[in-house]
A and B are shown apart, each in its own frame.
Chain A
Amino acid sequence: MKQDLLEKLKLELERSTLSEKDKLDLVSVFSRFPEVEAKMLLELIGEDNDILHLLSDNLKLKRDINLDDKDSWKKVFDNEKEVLSSIN
């Protein structure tokens, strides 16, 4: 991701009410976003700061996935279905 986009994302994160650990976790992933997705992410956050909380929850679930456990996958799948149906 280009530095200017990353700086903007960091500013948005600083303004959020996420914990310091959650902010750092998101920066470590966001900094590796391809440019197109990074721009889209900034647009989304500009419209609605709650997106950061959704993505933070999503990231935590994915980091905790046990690849051998179907229930673990189901938690992620259910979370994403819930997010998308609430937004749609």
Chain B
Amino acid sequence: MFENINKFSPKQETNIEKEIGEEENRVKNLLEKESSMSIGLSDKARKILRMMVTVSALTLLPATVGTGIYEMFRLESNAIERMEAVHNGSGVILEKTYHKAVNPGFDNPYYSLKLEINGKIIEAQVNESIYKNVTQNEHVSFQYHDRGSTGGPEIIINSLQ
């Protein structure tokens, strides 16, 4: 049943080699995280985890989205529960700071906001284009996801009040 699988034209083979290079990089990046995931697992379970991570890297084609979320879930066992724990609230922007791009052309300027949520002060980076009109002392309603150790808090500002 597998007789036709490896019959490709030279052009197809070149493309396949390029794709394999990209995929190997994607696998490598995910496997670098694998060592921290496998703490406490038996040797066999560790190898199977490695196989599953490899399958992930090779099947989740939208890599920047897919593997990003995947890594988060793998690295933090309660990541899903954390994602579900969305806090809705409203509050005041205590501080707003503008940060210049470090490498103009490669990254973007951004704002960091300091907000008070349920008595807790949090800070988050936000995209300049969305939040440039938000000012200090302004009342906003927002959603807040605590992403734990896998990334800074994420704030989605719903509306100005």
Contacts and interface: CB of A to CB of B under 8 A. Distances in A.
Interface in B95-126: none
Main secondary structure of the interface of B (DSSP, over half): helix
B130 interface: no
B135 interface: no
Interface string A68-88: 001001100100110110011
Nearest to A84: B45
Nearest to A71: B80
A5 interface: no
Nearest to B65: A67
Contact of A84 (B19, B48, B69, B73): B48
Interface in B21-73: 23-24, 27-28, 31, 40-42, 44-45, 47-52, 54-56, 58-60, 62, 65-66, 69-70, 73
A33 B1 contact: no
Main secondary structure of the interface of A (DSSP, over half): helix
Interface residues of A, number: 39
A33 B62 CA distance: 18
B80 A37 contact: no
A29 B54 CA distance: 9
A80 B40 CA distance: 15
Contacts of B84: 70
Given A3-B6, A70-B80, A84-B45, A29 B58 contact: yes
Q: Which of the listed residues B49, B54, B65 has the most CB atoms from chain A within 10 Å of its own CB?
A: B54
B80 A73 contact: yes
A37 to B, nearest CB: 5
23 contacts: A3-B6, A29-B55, A32-B19, A33-B27, A34-B24, A34-B27, A34-B28, A37-B31, A37-B50, A37-B51, A40-B47, A44-B44, A51-B51, A58-B55, A59-B55, A62-B55, A62-B56, A65-B60, A67-B62, A70-B84, A77-B80, A84-B48, A87-B48
Interface of A: 3, 6, 10, 14, 20, 23-24, 27-29, 31-34, 37, 40-41, 43-44, 47, 51, 54-55, 58-59, 62-63, 65, 67, 70, 73-74, 77, 80-81, 83-84, 87-88
Given A29-B58, A44-B47, 6 more contacts: A14-B1, A32-B58, A34-B24, A47-B44, A77-B73, A81-B77
